[in-house]
Amino acid sequence: MTQLLLLLLLLLAPISLSMAESSTPPTTGQELLIGFKATPNPSVSSFQSLITDSNGNYSLGFLRVNETRLTLAVVHVPSSEIIWHANMTKLARWSDPTQLIFNGSLIISDSHSGVFWSTYTEGDRVWLSNTSNLQVQTSDGSVLWQSFDFPTDTLVENQNFTSNMSLVSSNGIYSMRLGQDFMGLYAKFKSGSDPGQIYWKHKALEAKAAILPGQPIYAVLKSDGFLGMYQNGSVPVDVQSFNSYLQPVSGVRRVRMETDGNLKGYFWTGSSWVLDYQAVSEPCDLPNSCGPYGLCEPGKGCACLDNQTDPNTGRCASPGNHNLVDFCTAYSIKYKVIRSNGVELPYKQLMGYQRMHTFQQCETACQQNCTCWGVVYSNTSGFCYILDYPIQSLMKVGDESKMGYFKVSEGVGKRKIDVGLGVGMGLVCGSILVFGVVVGYGWYRMRERKRGVSGYVKEDGVVGVGPYKDLGAASFRSIELSGR
């Protein structure tokens, strides 16, 4: 009996020992083995590294979100850019009961709420590749789970982006997806409208290979400096080349779905990221360049749809309008109307329309429909574009026969309805924002300075906030073009 107990103790000893050891997580380790356990360290303010890749370029660890919460993230160490984070519908707390374990599955849980996130695998080790791919592998090296299959907002070199994936901006509004034969950018301007309005579409040119109908396409960011679309094999059906196309660059490349709705490509110089691709090159072509009810004039900057509001105050309509779903409920039914000429939707080619004989007809259709926020009408073509989501930015055009009618809610004092960004999407860590904004915004500023443009408004005073601002709110739209 005693022998049996001893044997048991001996058998258990190495396990409990290894668990005790690993509960103070190594910061230099390169893999996690079964039995690994880590808890967030209360004194760490932003990122607690657990493992790194062989070069020390990337690190997997706990990332602080919203001050008291955490998610699991892979960061590029020299720049602190977040390359990937776990998509948790609910965030775990940065405090004691929360733990990360590896028992075959990589699991974040706490004793009260249970499992927040899991890879649901039966693997033998967790490993971070030198390309930032977090993998759960078996002992023979086969991959059971990899972060490359669940991208966040970033795609790195040679990562396969398939048609059932999406890159979602950290504010949860914008996404990049693949269609049958194109790449598209979508904006979700109200809840429940997945994926939302398409505002940019790049159809495959099929110069070197034709797309076979019925087979999905996928996209890959290539080291040569292009975003390629493929169907099978190595011959791309489309190539979107970057500024540094075919030029040797010093470091790795990445593309990110930014919070302003642009898809941007960067390469690493060894000390900074250099922007060398933007899907949307003209700021006014972004869906929300000047904020809600803003008016973007190419080469000039921002104004408001009504002439009374000063875009420099930061907003062209009361904030309630940003979060309202429609005008159908009792408290939201009151609205005033703005009419203006010489305005156009930046992405009207991608919008559905109805033909109407007069602007009056088009306007009436909207007036009588409480889910309609406004219309844009072309007097020459008779096209009536109906907007069934909160008004974003319009584009100023010289042609006065392009007319708009927009509803502005008067009845909403405070934000009653959340735009419905899932927590998972909005979980967006302060650091993502800070870096995203700093980099993206820095480039915009440089671009704008070159063009001599000034005065793109900031909508909500969020530029330059500390790292832990609530990013779940719709208030993050369009901060990138802000002019300070």
Ligand X SMILES: *[C@@H]1O[C@H](CO)[C@@H](O)[C@H](O)[C@H]1NC(C)=O
The half-sphere exposure of 117 on its side-chain side, counting CA atoms within 13 A, is 20
String of b and e for 105-117 (b: at least 16 CB within 10 Å)? bbbbbbeeeeebb
Nearest to 154 by CA among 137, 136, 135, 175: 175
Q: How far is the CB of 370 from ligand X (least distance, A)?
A: 8
Q: Given the rule CB under 6 A, which of 8-16, 99-107, 196-204, 446-454 is the region that contacts ligand X?
A: 99-107
- Cα–Cα distances in angstroms (integers) from residue 204 to residues 41, 67, 186, in the given order: 48, 43, 17
Cis geometry, peptide bond prior to residue 42 (ω within 30 degrees of 0): no
Amino acid 334 reads: K
User: Taking CB under 6 A as the criterion, which residues in 2-21 touch ligand X?
Assistant: none
Q: Are 375 and 384 contacting, i.e. CB atoms less than 8 angstroms apart?
A: yes
Pairing of strands 394-396, 294-297: parallel
Q: How far is the CB of 291 from ligand X (least distance, A)?
A: 17
Q: Phi and psi at residue 216, in whole multiples of 5°?
A: -70, 155
Q: If residue 395 lies in a helix (H) or strand (E), which one and from where to where?
A: strand 394-396
Q: How far is the CB of 3 from ligand X (least distance, A)?
A: 28
**Does residue 206 touch ligand X according to CB under 6 A?**
no
**DSSP state for residue 298 in the 8-state scheme:** T
Judged by beta carbon, residue 137 or residue 166, the one nearer ligand X is 166
Q: How far is the CB of 216 from ligand X (least distance, A)?
A: 5
**Does residue 99 touch ligand X according to CB under 6 A?**
no
Q: How far apart are CA 366 and CA 349, in angstroms?
A: 20
Q: How far apart are CA 393 and CA 132, in angstroms?
A: 36
Amino acid 409 reads: S
Q: How far is the CB of 450 from ligand X (least distance, A)?
A: 28
Q: How far is the CB of 122 from ligand X (least distance, A)?
A: 6
Q: Given the rule CB under 6 A, which of 159-167, 195-203, 430-438, 442-450 is the region that contacts ligand X?
A: 159-167
Give the residue, chosen from 279, 296, 338, 433, that forms a contact with ligand X under the rule CB under 6 A: 338
Give the residue, chosen from 423, 448, 451, 455, that forms a contact with ligand X under the rule CB under 6 A: 423
Site string for ligand X, 371-390 (x = CB under 6 A): xx------x------x-x--
Judged by beta carbon, residue 329 or residue 401, the one nearer ligand X is 401
Q: How far is the CB of 199 from ligand X (least distance, A)?
A: 17
If one counts every other C-beta atom within 10 angstroms of the C-beta of residue 457, the result is 29
**Does residue 104 touch ligand X according to CB under 6 A?**
yes
User: Taking CB under 6 A as the criterion, which residues in 248-267 touch ligand X?
Assistant: 251-252
What is the torsion angle, in degrees rounded to the nearest 10, for the CA atoms of residue 464, residue 465, residue 470 and residue 472?
Answer: -10
Which runs of consecutive H residues, i.e. helices, occur in 98-215? none
**Does residue 244 touch ligand X according to CB under 6 A?**
no
Q: How far apart are CA 190 and CA 206, in angstroms?
A: 34
**Does residue 192 touch ligand X according to CB under 6 A?**
no
Q: Which residue in the shown chain puts its C-beta closest to ligand X?
A: 388
Give the residue, chosen from 107, 211, 302, 325, that forms a contact with ligand X under the rule CB under 6 A: 107
Q: How far apart are CA 302 and CA 288, in angstroms?
A: 11
Q: How far is the CB of 393 from ligand X (least distance, A)?
A: 15
Q: How far apart are CA 477 and CA 169, in angstroms?
A: 11
**Does residue 223 touch ligand X according to CB under 6 A?**
no
**Does residue 159 touch ligand X according to CB under 6 A?**
yes
User: What is the DSSP track for 82-101?
Assistant: EEEE---SSPEESSTT-EEE
**Does residue 426 touch ligand X according to CB under 6 A?**
yes
Max CA pair span of the chain: 96
The label of the residue with tokens 């190539």 reads 239
Q: How far is the CB of 131 from ligand X (least distance, A)?
A: 7
The label of the residue with tokens 């990110």 reads 256
Give the residue, chosen from 78, 298, 411, 467, that forms a contact with ligand X under the rule CB under 6 A: 78
Judged by beta carbon, residue 41 or residue 232, the one nearer ligand X is 232
Q: How far apart are CA 365 and CA 262, in angstroms?
A: 32
Q: Given the rule CB under 6 A, which of 4-12, 83-91, 178-186, 475-483 is the region that contacts ligand X?
A: 83-91
Q: Are 167 and 154 contacting, i.e. CB atoms less than 8 angstroms apart?
A: yes
**Does residue 329 touch ligand X according to CB under 6 A?**
no
Q: How far is the CB of 333 from ligand X (least distance, A)?
A: 15
**Does residue 340 touch ligand X according to CB under 6 A?**
yes
User: Taking CB under 6 A as the criterion, which residues in 278-297 touch ligand X?
Assistant: none
Residues near ligand X (CB under 6 A): 55, 57, 66, 69, 78, 87, 89, 91, 103-105, 107, 115, 122, 130, 148, 152, 158-160, 162, 164, 166, 168, 216, 232-233, 251-252, 268, 270, 306-307, 338, 340-341, 369, 371-372, 379, 386, 388, 401, 422-427, 470, 472
